[in-house]
Amino acid sequence: MIHSTHVERDDSANKSLPDLLLDPGELTTLGLDLPLDDYTLLDPSFPKAQMQKRTLGNSGLKVSALGYGAMGLSSAYGPAADRKDAIAILRAAVERGVTLFDTAEAYGPFTNEELLGEALAPFREQVVIATKFGFGINPDGTRYGLDSRPEHIRQVTDAALGRLRIESIDILYQHRVDPNVPIEDVAGTVKELIQQGKVRHFGLSEASAKTIRRAHAVQPLTAVQSEYSLWTRDPERNDVLATCEALGIGFVPFSPLGAGFLTGKIDTTTKFDAKDFRNISPRFTADARTANAALVGLLKRVAEEKRATPAQIALAWLLAQKPWIVPIPGTTKLHRLEENLGAVNVTLTPDDLREIEEAAAKIPVKGERLPEAVLALTNG
């Protein structure tokens, strides 16, 4: 039997924001969000989220057990959210104990960092802000591939500091590994930025285990970021999770809800905005959605036992894998934010995890997780 439990509350980043928290109202529907009348309300007896803290590997950097991925506020899932609404949801996350916020210069581009800079400025001492370099982006927003040349990293860092309105970036990730620049040069450049006080911690995104080891030897990594969820198990199979554990590196799964599919609110009839990347994702074709519905069915069965939601079970499963894993789901809706954060109240016992594992092993996931051109940039 699956049980729910209360956890010790951490209120250090959860003070009231009566003068600063904007009224979210009906936030712009974007990405994995759906209208409220499409949403199965939580059981009213289910406890509200009581945020926990986790430490990213051996770094000593403590963050909320669930972070917030801000990409969808500006790009990838359709039109950007209204600025007032976006600021409201970011501040609502702070009020509810979220301390890790993830952005990148590539989101927008540039506008996502500016958004976080404005929204989080009043709470700088309470939050950990992570951003990324690695794509070649001209000032006008046009792109030219990957670019992790040391001089470019320095330029991007200075620009990000200005957009984010901060003096030091808490975690600076290489967004994608640049095959034209040795990772030792990248790590050495970030090491210099840390020594200069412009950066506090170093991270990699979608890197291979070999690259992680090489980078870590030059400048210790605090976090590695990759897609990871019940329907994307690559980090278990390509030695990335094992490498992080061996080296004492935290792991930050992005898209922990499978770009919304694991919420149980997407089926073959769901229509996406014309600019939504899922229109070209192999895992979101009609055939793939039909085949992959079995995994959602598993989540729904477990959720029913726990009086929770499929999204909460998907996030609780990730949290149960390792104590140094910190997922970063994103949303533009207050009720979705609260639903996601409720996952910290869900405890999956060893028996629960074994049952989920055995059932999931019988469900083949259909379709690559990303379009071919995007997938080619991963595992560098």
Is 107 labeled as catalytic in the residue annotation? yes
Helix (H, G, I), strand (E, B) or coil at 199: strand
Residue whose structure tokens are 């499978």: 258
Helix (H, G, I), strand (E, B) or coil at 376: coil
Complete DSSP assignment for 114-143: HHHHHHHGGGGGG-EEEEEE-EEE-TTS-E
Please, where are the H alpha helices in the chain? 83-95, 111-120, 150-164, 183-195, 209-218, 234-237, 240-247, 286-306, 310-321, 334-341, 350-360, 372-375
Which pair of structure tokens corresponds to residue 184? 């030792």
Of 180, 183, 235, 176, residue with least CA distance to 213? 183
Contacts of 276 (CB under 8 A, 6+ apart): 31, 76, 77, 78
Q: What are the Cα distances from residue 129, in Å, to 153, 248, 257, 316, 377?
A: 17, 21, 21, 23, 24
CA 239 to chain centre: 20
Task: Kindly name the residue from 107, 144, 173, 228 that is annotated as catalytic.
Answer: 107
Of 28, 130, 157, residue with least CA distance to 88? 28
CA distance 321 to 319: 6
Q: Omega of the bond prior to 122 within 30 degrees of 0, cis?
A: no
Catalytic residues: 107
